[in-house]
Amino acid sequence: MPETSTALVTGASSGIGSAIARRLTNDGIRVLIGFHSGRLRAERLCSSLNSMGKEKAIPVHIDLSDPHSIPDRFDELAKDFGPIYYLVNNAGINDRSSGLTLDPIRLEEIIAINLSSPLLLSSAAASYFATNDLHGSIVNITSVHDQIPITGGAQYCASKGGLAVASRALALEFAQYGIRLNLVAPGETATPMNGVLHGSDSEIIRRPAIPMGRAAQPAEIASAVAWLLGSEASYMTGATLYIDGGLMLTAAEENAKAAYNTSHIRERTHS
């Protein structure tokens, strides 16, 4: 890890992004706290992270709703703050919309923030890394829903699934330059996106249907991101870590229970 290493983390003013920023600063990395509407939260987070007097965190505005501005914005940040070695595309918006009433404007918004901007930011970062002979590392945050559907999630699943497969294509292309791109796919996590208030990231949310019995803590997702960015994952690229407490293991469970109960009834009927 370079002594003056800097990471750009989008959507870093709260939730998983905030936890990632805290983890990276604890690891000695300066973090550019990317935000759009959460300026006050970003400034408060930076104040907290900089409380020891060192400039560990800097708030930076990034409008991910305008993908056309993304490449220039990354170059501006690199000029303003020096070499950037790491990128975490964390920002995203959740959505549950009836498949019978999908709205094209909402779909465009979701695709812009969850898919187009992360891809363009990854491209801009990799171009910068290659031009400056930096073996940079990128982590894109997707979701378990890049693989499994959820009712009302057609737009969200499309954006996360698209980001997942496109990221693997980028990882394939970037590898020749020594640039790694990996993915972290959380399950349910205790964040504002999932109804947990800002500042309550340590709240335990019980979920009996998840094998681990609870939602993830943001810090648990952050640990996976930090590991993938670092040298211990130096031979990993194009990989996805699903951090979901076993949620994806349960797909057939309800059907299996129903089948078991039905066969049990039959056995008792025939006995």
Catalytic residues: 156
Given a contact cutoff of 8 angstroms between Cβ atoms, the answer to whether 19 and 130 are in contact is: no
d(CA 54, CA 4): 12
Residues linked to residue 87 through DSSP beta bridges, in sequence order:
8, 138
DSSP letters, 45-79, are HHHHHTTTSS--EEEEE--TT-GGGHHHHHHHHHH
Phi-psi region of 91 (alpha: psi -120 to 50; beta: other; left: phi over 0): beta
- As a whole number of angstroms, the longest Cα–Cα distance in the chain is 79
d(CA 110, CA 189): 20
Beta strands in 187-239 (DSSP E): none
Nearest to 8 by CA among 51, 37, 42, 41: 42
Given a contact cutoff of 8 angstroms between Cβ atoms, the answer to whether 181 and 138 are in contact is: yes
